[in-house]
Structure 1
Amino acid sequence: MSNVLGLGVPRSEHVALRDPVIAYLDTAYADVYSALYETDIEAWSTARDACLHLPIAVSSVPRLLAYAVQLAFLLRVLDRNAGAKDAAHTPLGFGFPWGSGLTSGRLVAYPSLAMERAFIVQSIAAQYAQLGQSESRSDKESIRRATMHFQVRAALTQYAAGTLQTLQTLLTPAEQGADAPVELVPASLTALHALMLAQAQECFWQKATQDAYKDTTIARLARSTADLYETSANAAAASPLPQAYKVHARCKQLHFSAAAQYRKSCDDLVHKRYGDELGRLTLAASQVRAALALPLRALPSHAVADDLRGLQSIVETNLARAERDNQLIYLEAATSEAALPDLGTAAMAKAAVPEGLTSSQGLVDEHSLWFRGLMTYGIDVAERLYSDRKRHFCETVVESRLSALDAEANAVLVELDLPGMLDRIEAPPRIPREWATYTATLQRAPLAALPREIDKNAHIATHCADVLGELEAIVFRAVPGVADDLVTQQHALQTLWREYEHTLAEASASDATVHAQWEAVRADLAVMERGGAELARHVLPPSYEVERVRRAAAPRLRALRMDVERLEDGAAQRRALLQRVRSACDTDVLRPQLEKAARERHLGQLHAGADAEAVDPGALDDVLDAGMRKYTPYEAQCDALRDAQAALLRQIRAHVAAVHDDAALSAALRAQDAAYARVRDAYTTYTTLTQHVHEGHAFYTRLAALLETLRADVATWHARAVPTGGAFPGGAIRFGD
């Protein structure tokens, strides 16, 4: 069981915030659409309810601190005058019920955010106090944590002290007559502040004892601990704190006073100050007896009484030994209490304010503060207008103009065939790389195979024509006197014959085209079949002529190449300019200037005794105009790039015209293009012919099969229509020819 005290968490209950807060906003901020803040109200209600049911744990503290930070901001926005009760003050219209965490009195509703925050700070203090109490302090790390918790708890009482005046200001007469929470009474705050510092100092003393510090050092630490407990006990005596706190503080004061004297007596024994030793042990024994005479049943923990009895045993044992030794050996008079040298002090405990109460960094993001829009709504609108103007400038004034310049440059390059024309002129005489594929293909599939396939198709076509000629004489022969069904069948066979004849005629015309194309490219394909070297000898002579003529036109070509490169440099400059403009727009933050202007012009500030006045974004137009002036140089840069490109394009057109006017160069280029085109066209024709011949073979094979079927159908019909002898179904007797 712990021998230090914690602190009860203040009590409260759920508050329905939505309707009263909406009503408050409608009254205090008539120009604000209060429904926009329902999300903030819901977040407020959720956070408050969560804080009322947090367990005692380290993880609970950040949530309480975050709520305290939000309340500090709400004090500036909602409860603007910290509850000042005057004619112009807009009351909240609702209260926050709170009760003491040390007693079981009724809850009192306080209509002020200042009191809400004070009790949340008290809740944080209770968390730290109980965390410190729960530490075992059996090792150095546990002692360190307990020390920190008690020092933080001590600091938080200073925050609570500032709410006392607010408490009296906000309470109604009936509420002022009620008992105030015992934690917020001045004497209680003093007592609890000293108590927590004393418990932190006790941790320093405990660590020194475990680490076997010198007796004098331990004695001074114990003396400082006793002094703090004495301050707490004296203040508690005049406070409404429970009896347990009063008895605990007094017992602890006497315990550590006795412990300090005992530790100093050990040092006196070592240094042979036997009279001082005897006097200190006597004083320590009397202090322990005084502590044991207190109403120990009121103590919240038996550990305190057990510690006292343990110390009493040690002191009385050492006192009996000292008296016996002095009577037998030293024969020195015991030093009186008044004559004992002062122990000195070693105060180590210091109040440590939690970082979350001095700085909200890391607890609540600035953009997550509730009702932030009430302070910054007008500035937010102006900031959005500025962002829209920046975006319009970037997209319309800069990006669209630069894109138009890019499109113009690309259109001219396409129109003039640049830089492709220069590449063809300046390229060394060599066959294109893809022509290696041409020669390899023809070497894998010998060229002689293609005419053989053409001949095969022609042979099948001739056979099909013969079959059609044979069937024509039978199908189109008049056979009078036959039955109607046979006449119908004959007509169907005639129709099918005509379709096949038409198909064969179209195929024959296509074959003639194939044959003509083959004859046209046959010579060029034969050159390709002989390999790349032969192809080069066949095609490159015009390229040599281009190379010869190019040397004479080198200055004009070089100037044209430099113009094209400068045009590409201009495109790079435009991209860099656009990137600079975008970067400037992305990093340009006008909010500080807007806020400064608003402060200087007293726009949107919360004046004492007056309602909030919304910022008119129109009143900050000059700030927006001043911010946009920094982008004016970019327009001038766009104009300069436009003028430079226009001059360069005129120069490029002039240089291209000069190249085209060079008759020798133009003729050489046309000859080179014609030679290259002939090779490409020949190979393309070859691949087309190869595919056509393969498809033609499949076509003629299918057509021959269909004609054989037609021949069989004709034979069947002819056998029925023209019998070789005997009676004919029609009654007439006919004989076959």
Structure 2
Amino acid sequence: MTTSNVLSLPFRKSTQISLSSTIRQYISKKYDQHPDMFRHDLEVIDALRRDAVNVREAHPSGIKKLQAYAAQLVWIGGKFPDDIGAEFTWYPAMGYNTERPLVRTSLKYELMNILYNLAALYSQLAVSANRGSTEGLKTAASYFSHAAGVLDHVRTAVLPELSIPSPPDDMDSPTLEALTQLCLAQSQECFWQKAVMDGYKDASISKLAARVSDLYNNACEPAMKSEAVSSAWIHHMSAKHHHFAAAAQYRAACDCLEKRKYGEEIARLRDAVACVNEGLKETRGAYISKAVVEDLNGLKRRVEEDLKRAEKDNDVIYLHVVPPKSELKILDRANMAVARVPPPVANPYDYLGDQAEFGPALSAATGS
């Protein structure tokens, strides 16, 4: 599986602001304490934000920077109103308006952007993992499942609490759902690739491939409702859906050959050819990576050669009846991909404290 065979999420970009000065003003107005009492904490929050928004490359060190700032944002959000007057400027990562910044004064909006970038980082780490080795595939599958978990958390836990009228195009519910399913499909694809590499039985590889196909299809449906997911990505996901439907039938056909079910083998190979051809239709006139097109063409050649051999052998030797597609048993699925929310995102309070990983919660946010 070549790098261009999978997709990663681009980062959202922000501009620098002093969150501390807004919190200082708020404390001055609302509490009878001088904000200088909290000077150290206020410097810390600015440093945390600076570190988080400067995460711009696929390096594991960025994970803690984004998680630590996100945890403090959750804490601050529990102590202050969502709109404390800080103007958070963020540029969309996807869609048609990536040069047009969106400025909002919501802490939840800031949190959504930070978590989105955490998901983007996980997806980029997955793509940069060495997927030519079984260890690298396990690592990539894990990163994709964390990306899916963070996106799902944003959609189900943060988005419903957003006080601004409407979320940005690339962080609305259909887009987040599409990207979650895409990351799950790519995680499952890593498990499939590992099974191929490890020489699993055809029946097992078929079950894994069938589930990859389902997940790419699950990503296509909400992607069509999204204003931000490009048509190139939708064609990519649809091509992969058909590719893995074909791969699943092909492996099931190999299993039939081993079990001497020659008629069923031919029926499944014919269906595999039909699925590959559907996948290739998605690549016409659409910008899809060369690697995806090459994978489809490679599979097509293999399936057509096997079909020719199987039909010839059956006509001359076995004379088995070839069942119509409607009589073929639907393939079993084996699901390995799970959306995993990293514990610091699911339970940020557990990571704040004097002895905790992210250090003490900001005392300025207690308002006491």
TM-score normalised to the size of structure 2?
Answer: 0.91
Aligned to 2:215: 228
Q: Unpaired segments of 5 or more residues in structure 2?
A: none
Structure 1 counterpart of 2:222, one-letter code:
A
User: Which of 357, 363, 368 is the aligned partner of 1:372?
Assistant: 363
State whether residues 353 and 361 of structure 2, in contact with CA within 8 Å, keep that contact through their aligned partners in structure 1: no
User: Which of 290, 302, 317 is the aligned partner of 1:302?
Assistant: 290
User: Which of 245, 266, 274 is the aligned partner of 1:278?
Assistant: 266
Deviates more, 1:9-18 or 1:63-72: 9-18
Structure 2 Cα separation of the partners of residues 18 and 70 of structure 1: 13
Aligned to 1:36: 37
User: Does 2:3 correspond to 1:6?
Assistant: no
Structure 1 Cα separation of the partners of residues 240 and 123 of structure 2: 17
Q: What does the per-residue CA deviation read over 1:37-95, in whole Å, with 9 as the maximum and x for residues that have no partner?
A: 2332222222212222222211110111111111111111223xxx3xxxxxxx41222
Aligned to 1:86: none
Aligned to 1:289: 277
State whether residues 119 and 150 of structure 2, in contact with CA within 8 Å, keep that contact through their aligned partners in structure 1: yes
User: Which of 86, 92, 105 is the aligned partner of 1:94?
Assistant: 86
State whether residues 118 and 159 of structure 1, in contact with CA within 8 Å, keep that contact through their aligned partners in structure 2: no
Change in Cα spacing, 1:331 to 1:339, as seen in structure 2 (3 Å) is same
Q: What does the per-residue CA deviation read over 1:98-119, in whole Å, with 9 as the maximum and x for residues that have no partner?
A: 1221231411112111111111
Q: Unpaired segments of 5 or more residues in structure 1?
A: 84-90, 376-611, 615-737
Aligned to 1:62: 64
User: Which of 177, 193, 206 is the aligned partner of 1:206?
Assistant: 193
Give the ranges of 4+ consecutive aligned residues of structure 1 lying more than 6 Å apart after TM superposition.
none
Structure 1 Cα separation of the partners of residues 17 and 297 of structure 2: 49
Deviates more, 1:48-57 or 1:206-215: 48-57
> Whose relative contact order is higher, 1 or 2, with alpha carbons under 8 Å and at least 6 apart?
2
Identity of aligned residues (%): 33
Q: What does the per-residue CA deviation read over 1:112-150, in whole Å, with 9 as the maximum and x for residues that have no partner?
A: 111111111111100000111112311111011001001
Structure 2 counterpart of 1:165, one-letter code:
P
Structure 2 Cα separation of the partners of residues 148 and 230 of structure 1: 21
Cα deviation for residue 274 of structure 1 reads 1.2
User: Does 2:333 correspond to 1:334?
Assistant: no
Aligned to 1:256: 244
Structure 2 Cα separation of the partners of residues 350 and 92 of structure 1: 36
Aligned residues: 358
Change in Cα spacing, 1:59 to 1:298, as seen in structure 2 (3 Å) is farther
Structure 2 Cα separation of the partners of residues 134 and 299 of structure 1: 22
Aligned to 2:179: 192
Q: What does the per-residue CA deviation read over 1:331-372, in whole Å, with 9 as the maximum and x for residues that have no partner?
A: 233221111112111111111111222345895444743541
Structure 1 Cα separation of the partners of residues 258 and 169 of structure 2: 48
User: Which of 144, 150, 154 is the aligned partner of 1:150?
Assistant: 144
Change in Cα spacing, 1:374 to 1:165, as seen in structure 2 (3 Å) is closer
State whether residues 77 and 374 of structure 1, in contact with CA within 8 Å, keep that contact through their aligned partners in structure 2: yes
Change in Cα spacing, 1:155 to 1:336, as seen in structure 2 (3 Å) is same
Structure 1 Cα separation of the partners of residues 18 and 255 of structure 2: 64
Q: What does the per-residue CA deviation read over 1:208-262, in whole Å, with 9 as the maximum and x for residues that have no partner?
A: 1111111111101111111111111122122221112211111111000000000
Structure 1 counterpart of 2:67, one-letter code:
L
Aligned to 1:52: 53
Q: What does the per-residue CA deviation read over 1:486-511, in whole Å, with 9 as the maximum and x for residues that have no partner?
A: xxxxxxxxxxxxxxxxxxxxxxxxxx
User: Does 2:69 correspond to 1:77?
Assistant: no
Structure 1 Cα separation of the partners of residues 35 and 140 of structure 2: 46
3-state DSSP of counterpart to 2:331: coil
User: Which of 158, 161, 178 is the aligned partner of 1:163?
Assistant: 158
State whether residues 239 and 283 of structure 2, in contact with CA within 8 Å, keep that contact through their aligned partners in structure 1: no
Structure 1 counterpart of 2:317, one-letter code:
I
- Higher relative helix content: 1
3-state DSSP of counterpart to 1:111: strand
Structure 2 counterpart of 1:337, one-letter code:
K
Rg larger in structure? 1
User: Does 2:112 correspond to 1:110?
Assistant: no
Structure 2 counterpart of 1:200, one-letter code:
S
Structure 2 Cα separation of the partners of residues 15 and 217 of structure 1: 52
Structure 2 Cα separation of the partners of residues 134 and 152 of structure 1: 15
State whether residues 115 and 166 of structure 1, in contact with CA within 8 Å, keep that contact through their aligned partners in structure 2: no
TM-score normalised to the size of structure 1?
Answer: 0.47
Structure 1 Cα separation of the partners of residues 21 and 64 of structure 2: 28
Change in Cα spacing, 1:139 to 1:317, as seen in structure 2 (3 Å) is same
Structure 2 Cα separation of the partners of residues 352 and 10 of structure 1: 22
1:570-609 equivalence runs, <5 A: none
Structure 2 Cα separation of the partners of residues 244 and 237 of structure 1: 11
Aligned to 1:21: 23
